[in-house]
Structure 1
Amino acid sequence: YDINRRIVLAMRLLGVGVNGIKKFCAFMCLPNPIFQSFYDKIVSTISIATAAVREKSMKNAAAKEKELSVQKGLAERIVVSGDGTWKKRGFSSLLGVTSLIGWCTGKVIDVNVKSKICNQCNYWKKKEGTAEYEEWAETHKDSCQKNHEGSAGKMEVDAVIQMFQRSEELHGLKYSHYVGDGDSKTFKGILDSNPYENLDVKKKECIDHVQKRMGTRLRNLKKNVRGLGGKGKLTGKLIDDLSLYFGLAIRRNHNSIVDMKKEIWATLYHKISTD
């Protein structure tokens, strides 16, 4: 029934599984929900549908990114930014998702999910050595969800490398520049993998992260140098202002290092002026 599909979809969007659906129905005095087997079928159907929508959306985003990049004279090459997120903080997560976003459109053009676990493998492990297990293992290999070995922090590095390596096959494009968040491990991984012939990927720094690092260093300086902070000195508000204007100077003069340097120094001179 349609209502069964809808409640599964709604609960999955909330991160709730079949047990959560049972609790919800119990509290709402509703009839018993669907069985686990039918729930799995609905989830599988939803997964197929969302995968199709995802692929089409990313194809369209990549095509638009290519169009805008050609207008900027980048030919068959585009600039992308990448970042990862994990299910848990502290690099102890078993699941991680990394995405690449087009610089011109701001739209996602590729995603890569990394997992250190597979629930089906865990379930069948207790039956290992049986004929039933061998039969299951032959059909499960291609659909196993476990695709990562190593630390959670390495998930982002491996995911970005894979997305660069498949860019030509997926979109017919090369990612010529990578906008990073200051993490040199990811960019080093891209360079070491050498995803393209006759093209060295170059890195662009994310201005937001550069601006953030300026604030961090000023706060550390204030903390470590006695007497630097306080009224009329390096206050928290002044640090925020200097960081903000530092970022603005970079954004407004990204085509001229000389003008960028002048505006950065002008900010400092303005702030220390007594006029």
Structure 2
Amino acid sequence: MVFAMRLLGVGREGINIFCSMMDICQGISIGIYYSCLENVYTAAFAVYDLIISKGIDEEKNLISASDPNANSTNFTAVISGKIKKYSDIETYNDWYEDHKEFCTINHKGSAGKMEVDAIIAMFSRSVQKHQVKYVKYTHRHN
């Protein structure tokens, strides 16, 4: 129930209100609620690790199949990004008004440096965690 309600954006108080209205129980304590969240996190992380490991094994096999002499632990990352272009300042201002409350500054420096920093953060643990190394990075705009 906690998992389903969290998918809907409902927290413990909402669950307790729902349980009360449906007359199905007294609700759940904060300790039980956080234990449930920890179990959901553990399960989600385990599934994520399995999917990533399977993807890495598939990529290694593809590299080996395409070039038997290639180092199958050297990967190329393709970073894809959308560039939003505005034909006039009014269109941009309309967009900005709708999004400004959701946009916060979380990077200091240039936009180009932001991409570099993100790539380093995302892939820096790959050798230790998955025994692969991202040796090339390419960028594709959509």
TM-score, structure 1 as length reference: 0.37
User: Which of 37, 58, 65 matches 1:43?
Assistant: 37
Distance 1:27 1:81 in 2: 50
- Aligned partner (choices 71, 74, 78) of residue 77 of structure 1: 74
Find the partner of 1:162 among 110, 121, 124.
Answer: 121
Larger Rg: 1
Alignment pair present for 1:9 and 2:3: yes
SS at match of 1:80: strand
Q: Matches of 1:66 and 1:60 in 2, distance apart?
A: 10
Question: Is the 2:80–2:139 Cα contact (8 Å) retained in structure 1?
Answer: no
The structure-2 alpha-carbon separation of the partners of 1:156 and 1:35, relative to structure 1 and needing over 3 Å to count, comes to: farther
Q: Which moved more, 1:65-74 or 1:34-43?
A: 65-74
List runs of 5+ in structure 1 lacking aligned partners.
1-6, 94-150, 179-202, 210-275
1:173 corresponds to 2:108: no
Q: Which residue pairs with 1:152 in the alignment?
A: 106
Q: Report matched runs for 1:51-62 at 5 Å.
A: 51-62=45-56
Match of 1:152, SS?
coil
**Paired letter, 1:152:** N
Answering whether residue 51 of structure 2 is matched by residue 92 of structure 1, we say: no
Equivalent positions of 1:1-275 (< 5 A) are 7-73=1-67, 74-75=70-71, 76-82=73-79, 89-90=99-100, 92=103, 151-152=105-106, 158-178=117-137, 203-206=138-141, 209=142
- Aligned to 2:76, what secondary structure does the other structure show? strand
Matches of 2:79 and 2:10 in 1, distance apart? 28
Residue by residue, what CA displacement relative to the aligned partner does 1:10-36 show, whole Å, maximum 9, x if unpaired? Answer: 112223210121232233333221111
Work out whether residues 2 and 37 of structure 2, in 8 Å CA contact, stay in contact via their aligned partners in 1: yes
Superposition deviation, residue 160 in structure 1:
2.7
Amino acid at match of 2:103: S
| CA RMSD after TM alignment | 2.7
In structure 2, list runs of 5 or more residues that go unmatched.
82-98, 109-113
2: CA distance, partners of 1:70 / 1:16: 47
Q: Is the 8 A contact 1:78 1:173 kept in 2?
A: yes
- Helix, strand or coil at the partner of 1:63: helix
Provide the identity percentage. Answer: 34
C-alpha deviation, 1:83, in angstroms: 6.2
